[in-house]
Amino acid sequence: MKRILFAACMVAASATGVFAAAPPAPNAPPQITARHDVFYVGGHYEDDHGKMVMVGQMFVEGITPAHLTHPYPLVLIHGLAQTAVNWMETPDGREGWAEWFAQHGWRVYMVDQPARGRSAWNPNLQGAVSAVPVDLIEKLFTDPQANPVWAQAKLHTQWPGTGVAGDPTFDQFYASQVPSLPNGPSETLMQQAGAALLDKIGPAILVTHSQAGAFGWLIADARPKLVRAIVALEPLGPPYKDAIFQTGHDRPWGLTDVPLTYDPPVTDQSAISFAQQDKPDGPDLAACWSQASPPRKLPNLGGFPVLVASTQASYHAVYDHCTARYLKQAGVNVDFQRLADHGITGNGHMMMLEKNNLQIAAYLDTWLTQHIH
Q: Where does 33-371 sit in CATH, by number?
A: 3.40.50.1820
Question: What does the pLDDT average to over 154-180?
Answer: 98
Residue 73 in contact with residue 15, Cβ under 8 Å?
no
pLDDT band at 245 (very low <50, low <70, confident <90, very high): confident
Residue pLDDT, tens place only, 45-98: 999 999 999 999 999 999 999 999 999 999 999 999 999 999 999 999 999 999
The pLDDT of residue 165 is above 70: yes
Q: How many helices (H) and strands (E) does the chain have?
A: 9, 10
Residue 133 CA to residue 156 CA, distance in Å, equals 21
- Provide the b/e sequence for 72-95 (b: ≥16 CB within 10 Å): bbbbbbbbbbbbbbbbbbbbbeeb
pLDDT band at 30 (very low <50, low <70, confident <90, very high): low
Cα separation of the two ends of the chain: 31
Which residues have C-beta within 8 Å of that of residue 240, sequence separation ≥ 6?
250, 251, 254, 274, 289
Question: What does the pLDDT average to over 106-110?
Answer: 98
306, 316, 303: which is closest to 367 by C-alpha?
Answer: 306
The pLDDT of residue 273 is above 80: yes
**Amino acid 44: pLDDT:** 97
Known active-site residue 210: yes
Residue 61 CA to residue 110 CA, distance in Å, equals 5
Which of 119, 180, 186, 210 does the annotation list as catalytic?
210
